[in-house]
Amino acid sequence: MERPKIYKRKITNDWQKYCPELSKLRMLDIDNRVGPLVIGFYLQIIGDGTIYMPLYKVGNLYSHIYRFYRNRRTIDGYANA
């Protein structure tokens, strides 16, 4: 018995029709930047590819920048942490 073909592009395009404010990052990954946040979802394929589940995500872009500058100040001797 052969596994069914998974049409990732069609699945992604169908979901994007219902969420036009979000953009495709790559197949099965749809999100948008809102200020310092990245909000969206990933479509996880389950089993043989006939079922998939949206996994919602929120990411903070400033957390990486804050850690970089905090470590830089400490290393360069600008701040005592």
HSE of 64, CA atoms in CB hemisphere, 13 A? 6
Q: Hey, is 15 helix, strand or coil?
A: helix
| In contact, 58 and 68? CB cutoff 8 Å | no
Mean pLDDT on 3-10: 78
At residue 6 the predicted structure's pLDDT band, cuts being 50, 70 and 90, is: confident
Whole-structure pTM value? 0.59
Question: Is 9:15 a contact under the CB 8 Å cutoff?
Answer: no
Please write the tens of the pLDDT for every residue from 34-78.
Answer: 888 888 988 898 887 778 899 998 888 776 666 666 666 555 555
At 78, list the tokens. 């600008």
pLDDT at site 81: 46
Asked if the model's pLDDT at residue 80 lies above 60, the reply is no
